[in-house]
Amino acid sequence: MKDLSALRSDFPILQREVNGVPLVYLDSAATTQKPQSVLDAMDNYYKRHNANVHRGAHTLAGEATEDYEGARSKVAAFIGTSAAQVAFSRGATTSINHIAYGWGLNHLKEGDRIVVSISEHHANLVPWQIITRYTGAELIYLELDDDFIIDTSDLESVVDDRVKIIAFGGMSNVTGAIGPVEPLVEAAASVGAITVLDGAQLVPHAPVSADDLGVDFMAFSSHKMLGPTGIGALWGRPERLEEMEPTEGGGEMINIVERDHSTWAPVPHKFEAGTPPIAEAVGFGAAVDYLSAVGMDVVAQHERDITAFALERLSEVPDLTVYGPKDITKRGGAVSFSLADIHPHDLATIVDQDGVAIRAGHHCARPLMKYLEVPATARASFYLYNTPHEVDVLIEALFKARKVFGLG
Amino acid sequence: MAQLDELYREVILDHYRNPRRRGSLTGDHLHADGNNPSCGDEFAIDVIVEDGVITDAAMQGQGCSISQASGSMMMDVIVGMSVADVADLTRKFKIMMTIEEGEDPVDPDRPGAALGDLEALQGVRKFPVRIKCADLAWATLEDALSQPVD
């Protein structure tokens, strides 16, 4: 395993103690920690370049616009696409809502079908549920195979010409399972349906080339990839973005405003109403710079290595069940598990005493919990700044949890 | 480990593994559901009230040891109590859990005198994130009891 532990000193919060012991942060699937360079970029923006964007004729306005559009170009380059195809939003959830209301409402009618997977995060479920109520379309669920991966073995029986949208996660925040992208893109193409990729976990954890994936839309969030909260991106194929209506009207997204109608600004500004979160965009750009400097291949390999080590050590703990693929090439660093009859909530409290931050609950995927027939799971999720030692601390804490619950 | 020992005392683990009055009631009864969406704790509580007294109660639920133990301890005491006394006990419990303001009902020299097994939940006060787990059953019971009687 390449030693990335030197990176840790770039992240101020990782030097913290909790409950008198070093923080072992294993909750990056929920949100990631921020390197100093991201914090400095946002601070520097407010100290030196802050002004409103796009409209001003003064120097500061020009600098702010350059910073904002420069961030857009960085994010676009990071996912191998052009800046015109990247609209900033509040995050992946907002982006998917924009697609559902801006594209879905105009392209769905009674009897049409939207296909999602049972492992979707609520962000890639609830907007589609809402849209089916407005349009009379139906929501159909793909189930998982024995490896917890979206089952694409019999797509022809599900994907017929009633299907207009296939929406799926690039990487599950619960099981860690990746896609699979290709079969779903092919199935959609065969019936003229579009694909919407929830990239909230995929983009931070694997090298992605949006133009090559074959999907029509993709959504991802800055705070899941070392950037600030409050900003994310909506990517689309040019023709899809043209077909999409804006869901928010206001300043910045218009061209000409008359009394009785307005014309829209070109894509992507068409989807960015109001003053944008400029400092956050700058932070997002700095986050992308950081990841690019490390190299996404290195990030992905480190995550595979440490997740493989975690899975190995977790297998030493009796009565522990992992809900996700065992094959390390088919998964990312989100590892959901249960331990005996100890409720995940109790597990999280106990390991927290040893500084270990894991998540417990539904992980915003309640239908998946019901499908897996568990009330909730615990989840440890790994990223570039986690170390093998931190895995050891987690395992020891799990053995302690067994003792607390009288399991020896 | 001392704090964890306080939180997960034997009596709590006992109630978690052997919840009292597990099940549901038939016939005319009051019912309420409660849940904590952020963590997955759930309750379904049935009670029968006759002449202002709880004559039967049952509980179904799933969730963390704190929520389920609190619910089980509650079930252990309320049958035979008047609705007014249950309201009084609820208030004492909420004060003990720092959910409401008031004089701490627990007497350190006479453990168990004020709130019985429930006093084992005092350790939860050191884990503020978990207080709403302990409260869920009580909030659900309040819901059930506040329904209008036909």
Stated pTM of the model: 0.93
How far is A88 from A91, CA to CA, in rounded Å?
8
Instruction: Return the pLDDT at A197.
Output: 98
Class (C level, CATH) for A39-292: alpha beta
Residue A236, SS3 per DSSP: strand
Helix (H) or strand (E) holding A232: strand A232-236
Which residues in chain A are closer than 8 Å to B3, comparing Cβ atoms? 353
ipTM of the modeled complex? 0.86
CB contact under 8 A, B4 and A405: no
Is residue B126 included in any domain, yes or no? Answer: yes
Domain containing B141 equals 2-145
Question: How many Cα atoms sit within 13 Å of A27 on the Cβ side?
Answer: 18
Each of the 408 residues of chain A gets a pLDDT tens digit; together they read: 667 889 999 999 999 999 999 999 999 999 999 999 999 999 999 999 999 998 778 999 999 999 999 999 999 999 999 999 999 999 999 999 999 999 999 999 999 999 999 999 999 999 999 999 999 999 999 999 999 999 999 999 999 999 999 999 999 999 999 999 999 999 999 999 999 999 999 999 999 999 999 999 999 999 999 999 999 999 999 999 999 999 999 999 999 999 999 999 999 999 999 999 999 999 999 999 999 999 999 999 999 999 999 999 999 999 999 999 999 999 999 999 999 999 999 999 999 999 999 999 999 999 999 999 998 999 999 999 999 999 999 999 999 999 999 997
Question: How many Cα atoms sit within 13 Å of B38 on the Cβ side?
Answer: 6
DSSP-assigned letter for residue B100: S
**Residue pairs spanning A and B at CB distance below 8 A:** 51
DSSP alpha helix (H) spans, chain B = 2-7, 10-17, 65-78, 83-96, 131-145
A5-30+295-404 and A39-292, same CATH topology: no
What are the residues whose beta carbons fall under 8 Å from the beta carbon of B142, sequence distance 6 or more? Answer: B90
Which residues in chain A are closer than 8 Å to B68, comparing Cβ atoms? 343
CB B114 within 8 A of CB B107: yes
Residue A159, SS3 per DSSP: coil
Number of domains forming the structure of chain B: 1
Is residue B121 included in any domain, yes or no? Answer: yes
Nearest to A376 among B4, B39, B66 (CB): B39
> Over the stretch B56-106, which tens digit does the pLDDT of each residue have?
999 999 999 999 999 999 999 999 999 999 999 999 999 999 999 999 898
Could you state, in order of their start, the residue ranges of all structural domains in chain A?
Answer: 5-30+295-404, 39-292
CB contact under 8 A, A362 and B7: no
Looking at chain A, how many residues does it have?
Answer: 408
Q: Is A364 a catalytic residue?
A: yes
Options 3.40.50.2000, 3.90.1150.10, 3.40.50.150, 3.40.50.300; CATH for A5-30+295-404 is: 3.90.1150.10
Q: For residue A398, which amino acid is it?
A: L
Joined together, the tokens standing for residue A122 give 């609520």
Joined together, the tokens standing for residue A227 give 């950037």
Is residue B115 included in any domain, yes or no? Answer: yes
Catalytic-labelled residue, pool A273, A298, A364, A407: A364
> Is the CB of A404 inside 8 Å of chain B's CB atoms?
yes
User: How many angstroms separate the CA of residue A400 from the nearest CA in chain B?
Assistant: 9
Identify the CATH number of the domain in which residue B6 sits: 3.90.1010.10
Is residue B150 included in any domain, yes or no? Answer: no
Is residue B39 included in any domain, yes or no? Answer: yes
| Nearest CA-CA partner of A68 in A50, A90, A93, A92 | A50
How far is B119 from A234, CA to CA, in rounded Å?
52
> Is the CB of B119 inside 8 Å of chain A's CB atoms?
no
